[in-house]
Copies of this chain bind each other. A is one copy, B any other.
Amino acid sequence: MSDIGTRARAAAVALARAGSGDRDHALNRAAELIEERAEEILVANGRDMVAAESRGLSGAMLDRLRLDEDRVRAMAAGIRDIVALPDPVGQVMAEWTRPNGLLIQRVRVPLGVIGIIYESRPNVTADAGALCLKSGNAVILRGGSESFHSSHAIHACLVAALHDSGLPGDAIQMVPTTDREAVGHLLGRMTDTVDVVVPRGGRNLIERVQRDARVPVIGHLEGICHVYVDGAADLEMAKQIVLNSKLRRTGICGAAETLLVDRACVDTHLDPLVKALIDAGCEVRGDVTVCATDARVVETTEEDWYTEYLDAVISVRVVDGVEGAVEHIARYGSGHTESIVTEDEDAAGTFLRDVDSAIVLHNASTQFADGGEFGMGAEIGISTGRIHARGPVGAEQLTSFKYRVRGSGQTRPG
């Protein structure tokens, strides 16, 4: 593992000096190779699927692991989308001249070496590898044991593409073992060679990473997202936003898990919202007031407000206005994404200011919590941390910066 780190560091130096032309060339070539070697990748994936089935993995896990021709093509297309992004490296973020004539520029540079720890989805190998390369970073990939063969077949395409473009193959390395000690080593003992670790996966993985990491971590625990329907909400708009936030896709981190309804509109809005959810096939759990609206509503326990269902289930609570909503979210939320539906600009302003989440929306679905929907291109995840990157983590968020100062012989007085 230490050797992987040393080689990654050397590759990062070479990458930082390479032009964006070489990096984009490698990315295009990787997309080509993934298409050309689709058959090999599918055979490798078949081996992983057989092993996973014999170990009795759940249907959802198997679906995440499974590749087919469409998914392989989508992987290549995803890499081409990343090529099309502007190169963040070398961008002048700000510049100013001091009274003594010094010109100061803040310039984007790669972060250096990024460790990505993920679980069963083999496409993360391509996505994460490509996004790190786009932003000039060397990456150490550590995928889940379930996707070992699939990930290695994809990784081989990336390395061949680097070589074909005159870039070091060590720029995208894959940990060659699935034993758990390798993760411990990566998190705890590579502080000199790894600049940041990004975990992608379930709660257990993220908690382990946050507990054991001696290197900085960018990641999110979970998305317990809320929609608050204010007393001044347009009912039809509220219905559309609630249904979309909860049900468009239930398994993504930006899916709503809790609906908060202003006590001021309980008589007019609560029943139609609950009925619309139930009619759309969603299980509704609610507090006493919510239970009174419909016999099919199950009563919530305290645990519900902390739960990320990732399924067609929603918890519903009546709160006292926007302050009540802010308070509920501060207590139970995960700092990911929350939305207010209201026609009252003051209530919206209070909510957008006082809800302390990475993304706060007014009159829009929480499912917009996505780098692509933000116009940032591909993302490696949504950060709920407050340091370095918050919200969608794309190529730009995988950079650092330095100050470039140009003078004409200035010395500092005093």
- Check B403 against A241 for contact (C-beta < 8 Å): no
In the complex, which residue of chain B has the Cβ closest to the Cβ of A216? B387
Interface size on A, residues (CB 8 A): 65
Report if A210 contacts B (CB, 8 A). Answer: yes
In the complex, which residue of chain B has the Cβ closest to the Cβ of A413? B248
Instruction: Report which residue of A237, A240, A388, A409 has the largest number of chain B beta carbons within 10 angstroms of its beta carbon.
Output: A409
Residue interface bits A380-414, CB-to-B below 8 A is 1, else 0: 00000111101100000000111111111111101
CA A177 to CA B236, docked complex, whole Å: 58
Known: A195-B386, A388-B388. A362 touches B330 (CB 8 A): no
Q: Which stretch from A140-148, A150-158, A267-275, A348-356 is at the chain B interface?
A: A348-356
- Check B16 against A364 for contact (C-beta < 8 Å): no
CA A243 to CA B354, docked complex, whole Å: 52
Task: Give, as a whole number of angstroms, the nearest-CB distance from A96 to chain B.
Answer: 7
Task: Give, as a whole number of angstroms, the nearest-CB distance from A171 to chain B.
Answer: 16
The interface residues of chain B lying within 8 Å CB-to-CB of A388 are: 387-388
The interface residues of chain B lying within 8 Å CB-to-CB of A358 are: 402-403
Question: A3-17: which have CB < 8 Å to B?
Answer: 13, 16-17
Report if A111 contacts B (CB, 8 A). Answer: yes
CA A216 to CA B13, docked complex, whole Å: 25
Report if A368 contacts B (CB, 8 A). Answer: yes
The interface residues of chain B lying within 8 Å CB-to-CB of A245 are: 411
Report if A359 contacts B (CB, 8 A). Answer: yes
The interface residues of chain B lying within 8 Å CB-to-CB of A411 are: 240-241, 243-245, 248, 364-365, 367
Known: A16-B356, A210-B191, A387-B195. A368 touches B404 (CB 8 A): no
Task: Give, as a whole number of angstroms, the nearest-CB distance from A112 to chain B.
Answer: 6
CA A360 to CA B400, docked complex, whole Å: 14
The interface residues of chain B lying within 8 Å CB-to-CB of A180 are: none
The 3 A-B residue pairs with the shortest CB-CB distance in the complex, in nearest-first order? A364-B407, A244-B411, A386-B400
Report if A68 contacts B (CB, 8 A). Answer: no
Report if A234 contacts B (CB, 8 A). Answer: yes
Given contacts A104-B374, A361-B405, A364-B406, 10 further A-B contacts (CB under 8 A): A16-B354, A98-B374, A241-B411, A245-B411, A364-B411, A365-B411, A368-B410, A368-B412, A387-B387, A390-B401
Task: Give, as a whole number of angstroms, the nearest-CB distance from A386 to chain B.
Answer: 4
CA A354 to CA B404, docked complex, whole Å: 11
- Check A412 against B98 for contact (C-beta < 8 Å): no
CA A17 to CA B349, docked complex, whole Å: 12
- Check B196 against A402 for contact (C-beta < 8 Å): no
- Check A375 against B96 for contact (C-beta < 8 Å): yes
The interface residues of chain B lying within 8 Å CB-to-CB of A210 are: 191
The interface residues of chain B lying within 8 Å CB-to-CB of A318 are: none
Report if A363 contacts B (CB, 8 A). Answer: yes
In the complex, which residue of chain B has the Cβ closest to the Cβ of A217? B216
Known: A363-B407, A387-B195, A409-B241. A354 touches B98 (CB 8 A): no
CA A196 to CA B388, docked complex, whole Å: 11
- Check A405 against B240 for contact (C-beta < 8 Å): no
Report if A102 contacts B (CB, 8 A). Answer: yes
